[in-house]
Amino acid sequence: MRGLEFQGRHGASAAERKTHRRFQVDVDLHVASLPAVHSDRLADTVDYHAVCGLIEAIGTGHTYHLIEALAGAIVAAIEERWPAVTVAIEVRKLHPPCPGNPAFTAVRLRT
């Protein structure tokens, strides 16, 4: 999944957490064996609609000081719901309040 977007109140400073900021998430899910290849049933695979909803709920429903903690919470929730899945994730804070006006800052985690 690429480019999932939401607005959240995440940031190291209290000033950052007072207003909403835009975040973007990319997620790769890896499964060793996927019964859905043969069954063609949604019940036998990861429901990507549900993954997107889970990411958005965490990103908008909680507040984190660090994008590392936000990424870790997303990974933990995905792995709890779909234990057979390993996750690689990138979380980007778009237009952070940093010198030089970067387009984003990001963290990548892999399980």
**What pLDDT does 80 receive?**
96
Total domain count, the chain: 1
Residue 66 belongs to domain with CATH number: 3.30.1130.10
Query: How far apart, in whole angstroms, are the C-alpha atoms of residue 95 and residue 105?
Result: 8
Q: Of 31, 4, 19, which is closest to residue 90 (Cα–Cα)?
A: 4
- Collapsed DSSP state (helix, strand, coil) of residue 108: strand
**What pLDDT does 31 receive?**
86
Q: What is the pLDDT of residues 4-44, one digit of tens each?
A: 999 999 999 999 999 999 999 999 999 877 788 889 988 88
**What pLDDT does 36 receive?**
84
Identify whether 93 is a catalytic site residue.
Answer: yes
**What pLDDT does 14 receive?**
93
Query: How far apart, in whole angstroms, are the C-alpha atoms of residue 60 and residue 73?
Result: 12
**What pLDDT does 32 receive?**
78
Q: How confident is the model at residue 1 (pLDDT cuts 50, 70, 90)?
A: very high
Residue of 10, 58, 90, 93 with catalytic role: 93
Q: What is the pLDDT of residues 59-110, one digit of tens each?
A: 999 999 999 999 999 999 999 999 989 999 999 999 998 999 999 999 999 9
| 17 HSE (CA, 13 A, CB side) | 12
**What pLDDT does 43 receive?**
86
Query: How far apart, in whole angstroms, are the C-alpha atoms of residue 6 and residue 59?
Result: 7
Domain span at residue 38 reads 4-110
